[in-house]
Amino acid sequence: MTNASLTRSFIDLRAWAADATVAQGEGDPFLAARAQLPLADGPISAGLIALPRGAGLVNGMPADEFVIVVSGAVRIAGGDLDLTLGEGGSILLRGGAAFAWTADADSRLLFMRRTGGPAGDGAIIPIDADAPLAPSGAPLAELLVGPTPQCRNHGDWKSPDGEFMAGTWDSTPYYRRAMRYGHYELMYLLDGSVTFIDEVGAEATFACGDIFLVEQGASCSWDSRVHVKKIYCIYRPA
């Protein structure tokens, strides 16, 4: 499902990470203790960071990267920021970001990185799941079956070219027929559940606490029968 020669689809990242083999490279574990999710060649990579108990120092992130904690906790301190991310906590690390990290126990994080974009400014941006949400656009009317949902959004960060972004979104229930995704989207459900069916009939339901990725090029329907709220990281090329 994730091989470049196979159908693009949705990927349960928690399930994938549970069996992923981490390669320990040279350098700080935050950058070197990683497993790569097999995705099509391009500017987006994703995978697992396996932080050991201890501490480390990243002198500069090589690219913009969204990170979310799957298990454990990690303290990030850089510039004027000093915060601890527990399970489900997420952050956007811009290219050039320098920080110290501390983990009191082995911790696992998922990442989504975008390379080749505008030069980073070294900023570290927490994703605020409790930020006030403002009304946002609904799915395309021609794809909807049933009432148009009420959707809201808060964007914590967007790249200067508008292609890479992270924030929080919610919606009333809706059913949307399959559409072709022109973008990558990593989602962490804070509330509710949603069922996807891809173009070959593979089906999965994700619920509160699940983390999953819809690949660019996937054709998937969306069926949410309760209120849904999620943290997202999206790469949508112009």
Please, what are the averages of pLDDT over each run of 10 residues along the chain (238 residues)?
66 97 92 97 98 98 98 96 97 98 98 97 97 97 97 98 98 98 98 97 97 97 98 97
Instruction: State the residue for tokens 């470049």.
Output: 4
Q: Find out whether 20 and 35 touch, Cβ atoms under 8 Å.
A: yes
The CATH T-level fold of domain 10-126 is Jelly Rolls (2.60.120)
Q: What's this model's pTM, rounded to 2 decimal places? A: 0.95
* Joined tokens for residue 19: 């069996």
3-state secondary structure of 27: coil
pLDDT of residue 25: 85
**Chain centroid to CA 176:** 21
Q: Where along the chain do the CATH 2.60.120.10 domains lie?
A: 10-126, 134-235
Element (H, E) at 30: helix 29-32
Tokens describing residue 69? 């904690």
Cα gap 125→144, rounded to integer Å: 34
Q: What is the pLDDT of residue 184?
A: 98
Say how many CA atoms lie within 13 Å of 115 toward its Cβ.
Answer: 8
Task: Give the right CATH number for 134-235 from 3.10.150.10, 3.40.50.670, 3.10.180.10, 2.60.120.10.
Answer: 2.60.120.10
Residue 132 burial (CB count, 10 A): 8
Rounded Cα–Cα distance for residues 121 and 175 (Å) = 39
pLDDT at position 182 is 97
d(Cα 81, Cα 103) in Å, to the nearest integer? Answer: 16
Residue 4: the pLDDT is: 43
Q: How far is 135 from 130, CA to CA, in rounded Å?
A: 15
